[in-house]
Every structure is written in C-alpha cells, then in structure tokens.
Structure 1
C-alpha cells in the first residue's frame, strides 16, 4: 500500500477559520449555505474508491466546492476504454498505461489548489483486506466520508460495515448504462439542520447499513420467509405507488441479486434478459408492490440493464456524479436533509426517486 504521508500534493489546511482567499473563492457558496457549513466542508476528508468512471464528475464537484482534503484510491492503470469516461484521463498527456491515480492527480489539482490531495495506488484493504485493516486506515486518515464508486454490492456491504465501525459516513454509487443509484449510510445518529419559516430546526436520522437495508426487505432471504415490513412500497395505494415509481429500484435490486449470484454482471447473452426479468418480478411480488399500479417491471428497462450493465455513458455519469457530490457536500455541511437512503436515477426518462430501506423515521434532535 502507498504511504499516504508521502503522496500528498498540497499541505493540509489548518483547522482554523476560513481564510480571506477562501472566503473570496467560495463567496457564492457561503452566501448559499452559510459560513459554518462551508467551514465544515473545508475541514473534511473525503476518500474516493475507484477512479473508473463515476468518480470523475463526483471529484470535480467536491473539489470545486472546497472540501479540505481528498484521498483517491485505485490500483489499476489507465486503458483506452477509460479515456471516454471523464476528464481525469487525457490521451494527449499520455495517460494510457499510467496508474489511474498518477494520471488523475494533476487534473484534480488544477481544479482547486486549496484542496489537499493524497493518492493510494491500491484499493487494499477495502478490497481484499480485513475489516480491521480498513477500520484502522479510515481512523488513521480521519476520513469523514468514504465514497465507493462502481463496486459490487458485496464489496459495498463490506466497506460500509467497516465505515460504521470507524465512525465514517458511507456512500455507494454506480451506473449501469442509462440508469444509476446512490446509497447513503450516514450512521446510526446523523444530525442536521433545516431552515423553516419559524426558524432553524435540528433534525436527526438513524441510517441503516447496506446489508441491513437489503436483509430487511425479505426478498434476499429464503422464499419461505416473509417480509418483515422493510419494503417501502408495501401497503401503498395505487396513486401513491405510481408516485413512488418503484420499478427502477426493483430492477436495480434484481441486477444486484444477479451479480451476487453469478459473480458477474449480465452482458446481454442468451437467456440473461429473461433471467433478470424473473428475478425482478419475484422481488416485485415479495416487496408487496401494488399490482394495479405496477403489474410488471418495464421490459425495456430490464433489457437495457441486461445488455448495458457494464457500459458507461457520459451523460449518466455527469448527472449521477452531480447528485452524488451534492449529497456528500450536504452530509458534510449538515445543512438540509440528505438522501434517505437509496436514490435511483433514470437519465433516459429524466427522473429520479428516493426510497427509505430499513430505516426509522426522522425525529427532532434533542
């Protein structure tokens, strides 16, 4: 593993108040979010895992917003297919063949010289290491938020578990063709503030881990077991179900289930569309979705996921990367309500819906 202390590109910012240069650079944001929120962001450390695609737009938005420190981790090298996924890898600068972190670092640094940068030339211990090693690294580097981009569900569950033990907030996100998702786990007791007509109100949320969220739904258990109320769609009226638009979330859960069982994503092979459709229909029934509102999962959606799950599309990366970065900033600033807790995005239809999986209700903080 690379030693983080030897790979910083700028000196970390102090923990004091925002400087005059920062106040000038972030003037618009300070007026929008407030000085306290901006100071929280500039004192934060964000770790991005995997630089393959979604990370590009996410990093751009985080760095321009003025987080304090960014750590990028990836053990791969830039390939030809990486060149079209974002601005971090430039063919004219000889990126192909370089390590992804080495190629990305100068591009990130050019966005905002006030952000401290560190690179790790491996995904270990997050991938292939122990939970104890992961917890130790997160604590050592004082990571506030870890963002896992385009990793498998099983890997995200493992990383999320370690993040909870380290007291680090977790985001898992990825795209599959024109569709994508963001999952947030901000811990058992996440506090934030909202502006109401009556003044500023303190709120709190108790997030579930990804593994808890999945197991609470019932569909991932044996077919003889029943759902214990974890489904956010069970018992909804026809109109409310249509408004909630559960189809894409269910299709994504089906894709995760397929990948978890097969070890790979579908690539449009013979029988894969039908198999993914069968999984999605089973999940739809087991989640208790109103059949009058959603009698089946859209065939075009299933076919697209089964055929393009391994493909990256620039518009989808830009849209989802923007959503992801904005919510990470919201979580760091503790201003306004973050995603609760699974956001599914359809860039073809221009829609996005969020649903709460295995979570308790929001409550006023003491």
Structure 2
C-alpha cells in the first residue's frame, strides 16, 4: 500500500496549485502533496549541493535545511551559483541561504552552520530524507544505518573532477506507483476472429500500478566480496567508477579532504598508492584504474555537478512523491565518455 501520510499543512493552496501546475499535471496532485509534506536535510553546499538544493526547492518540498560548516573559498565560489561574489570567508550554508530562498518563497529554507559530525542521532530523525554530499565514508554509513531503522530515505553523492556518483537507500521495502498504458480486454461480443479477442494497449488511457523495490545499505554496497563467484560474474558490467569511488573515499578518510589542484603532484602519487592498496584489498586487479585516472578527479566541475545534481535531485523527488521507478542503488557519471553517458550498478 502506498504511504499516504497526511501532515498538518500539506493541503495545496490556490497559490501553490498555480506555482506547481506543470508538476501536478506531470505526476499528479497526490504526489505533489507528498512532496509538500516532506522535510529534507542537505549536507554540503559545494557545487553538487547547490544543484540539489535548487532542484528540491523548485520541486516544492515543505522544508530544506542546508547544513555546512565550511567557509566560502575561491574554488567553492566558482563551483556553485548560490554564493554571492562578495561572500569570501563566510559560511557556505549561510551565504547560500538568500538565493536559495529566492528560488521559491513557499519552501522553508534554513541554514545550519554546525559540523555534521557533531550532530546527535536525534537530529537526523526529524527529516523525511537526508542527502549527504562531501562526507566521509564512516559518516555516510552511520547516517544510513541510523535512518534505515526509522525508514528515513538516504541519498549520498559527490563530484570529483569529470566523475560523479549518487547512491540511494530507500529501505528493504519501498512502495511506489508507476503509470502504465491501460490494457483493454476484448468483449465477449467480439466476433471478428482471434486477433480481435486479444487484449490491446490503449495509448490514450493509463493506469497506476503499485510496485515495491528493495534496497541494500551503503555498507553492503561498499563491502561487496569480489572474490565470490557471484561478484566475479558481475565484475565486467560493474563500472570502473565504483572502484574509483572506493579510492577517493579512502583518500578523504586518510587526508580529511579531497584531492586538490594546489597539491596535484603529491595527491596524484598518494591516489595511485591508495588505488593499489584498495583494489588489492578488494581482490580485484589494479588495471581497473589506469595510472592516468588521477588526471580527471580533481575539483568539482560545474557541468558535472549539473548532471549529477539533476539526477540526484530527481531521485529524491521521486522517492518523496513515491512516483515512478527509482534507481537501485548507484548512478555513476563519467564526463570523459561524453555528455549524458551514464553507468548503473545495482546491488541486491
């Protein structure tokens, strides 16, 4: 059964109906009501975070909390469009607040300048969905496990140079509806032969089909036993970006930051060393990531942020509205393959 949780003030007003007219026509009034009753936590206001914030605010969620303790730098100011040019040195969440709120006054947008690591478990439980960007592996696993127990939807994402990814965990039993063409059954009175008696698809009519999907946790997705026969069989269809993500998350854990252009030579050497250690530890060949991978994973590139942020924002909207089939569980983007080239990796 589709969860139709009614919250106190998710009734669509005339003003909201006008604002969201196109969306209501696209995915229906009930889906928009679910969005209107949802509160989302977005961690990290880098280039990817700004894209996700924009998409969620325009979609019309109830509230969006922007959580980021970092200060605006020249790099972050170039990477995202919500930060004014004169905000150097200010907190990124606070600096992004005014422009984010201006996108849609009907959405309650808040800025939180605390470190996400300092937040108690109870903080995350007040939201319907949590989106983590720029976070450590340990923190993402912690929040995912915590929210899974309370059936709170969790999303993770990052952009590293030409590469980007998103991960979603909607729980072991996620319900949604999907619009399908209506099947018209032949009537008993039909006497025009066997073909006329067959069920036919009516392109002018649709019906809503209830479906269920199951998601694995982030911990399970990152700790696949690649020495098992089942995993070995799926290795050829697993994008190299899955293993690149493992390397970059290990770099983030070890250094407390992402690879930076100012220390390109040193970080490149360390990335190759981490690649060898991580892939050896996973039981796969280091040839999965050629030595030149280090040339394409520095900084947040705005076009990649736009693509990955569009997909990530769309998946959050679909999950909150419970409309249309979700991705399971990873989405990877490789800008070197050309615009719009994507790879999927689903864990079960």
Q: CA RMSD in A?
A: 2.6
Residue matched to 2:144: 160
Cα shift at 1:53: 2.4
Residue from 277, 285, 293 that aligns with 1:302: 293
The answer (yes or no) to whether the contact 2:247–2:271 under 8 Å persists in 1 is: no
- Counterparts of 2:63 and 2:111 in 1: how far apart (Å)? 11
Structure of greater Rg: 2
Q: Secondary structure at the match of 2:288?
A: coil
Residues in 1 aligned to 2:97 and 2:292: alpha-carbon distance in whole angstroms: 36
Deviation at 1:17, TM superposition (A): 2.2
Distance 1:276 1:302 in 2: 12
Count of matched residue positions in the alignment of Structure 1 and Structure 2: 311
Partner of 2:208: 200
Q: Is the 8 A contact 1:74 1:121 kept in 2?
A: yes
Correspondent of 1:315 among 293, 303, 316: 303
Give how far 1:248 is off. Answer: 2.1
Task: Give yes or no for the alignment of 1:45 onto 2:44.
Answer: no
For the Cα contact (< 8 Å) 1:61–1:322, is it kept in 2?
Answer: yes
Contact 1:195 1:201 in 2 (8 A): yes
In the alignment, which residue of structure 2 is the partner of 1:327? 315
Secondary structure class of the residue paired with 1:166: coil
Alpha-carbon deviation of 1:263? Answer: 5.4
Distance of 1:99 and 1:38 partners within structure 2: 32
3-state SS of 1:275 partner: helix
Among 160, 185, 188, the residue aligned to 1:176: 160
TM, length-normalised to structure 2 = 0.81
Displacement of 1:113? 0.6
Residue 283 of structure 1: how far off its partner (Å): 7.0
Displacement of 1:201 in angstroms is 1.8
1:98 aligns with 90
1:218 alignment counterpart = 225
Gaps of 5+ in 2: 1-6, 184-206
Please show how residues 114-125 of structure 1 align to structure 2 within 5 Å. Answer: 114-123=106-115
Assess, with a 3 A threshold, how the Cα gap between structure 1 residues 251 and 102 changes in structure 2: closer, same or farther.
closer
Q: Residue in 2 aligned with 1:255?
A: 248
Whole-angstrom distance in 2 between the partners of 1:300 and 1:274: 7
| Unmatched tracts of structure 1, length 5 or more | 1-12, 220-225, 288-294, 360-366
Asked if residue 137 in structure 1 is aligned to residue 135 in structure 2, the reply is no
Q: Aligned pair in 2 of structure 1 residues 166, 200: CA closer, same or farther (>3 Å)?
A: same
Partner of 1:107: 99
Q: Could you tell me which residue of structure 2 aligns to residue 336 of structure 1? A: 324
Asked if residue 87 in structure 1 is aligned to residue 73 in structure 2, the reply is no
Separation in 2, partners of 1:264, 1:52: 13
Assess if the C-alpha contact under 8 Å between 1:138 and 1:166 holds in 2.
no
Deviation at 1:335, TM superposition (A): 0.8
Task: Please report how far the alpha carbon of residue 273 of structure 1 lies from its aligned counterpart in structure 2 after TM superposition.
Answer: 5.1
Pair 1:352 & 2:342 matched: yes
Measured in 2, the distance between the counterparts of 1:104 and 1:316 equals 20
- Kindly provide the CA deviation profile for residues 129-152 of structure 1, in whole angstroms up to 9, marking residues without a partner as x: 5xxx22x1233x3x1110011212
1:247 deviates by: 2.0
Counterpart contact for 1:280–1:297, Cα < 8 Å: no
- CA drift of 1:158 comes to 1.5
- Are positions 1:272 and 2:260 aligned together? no
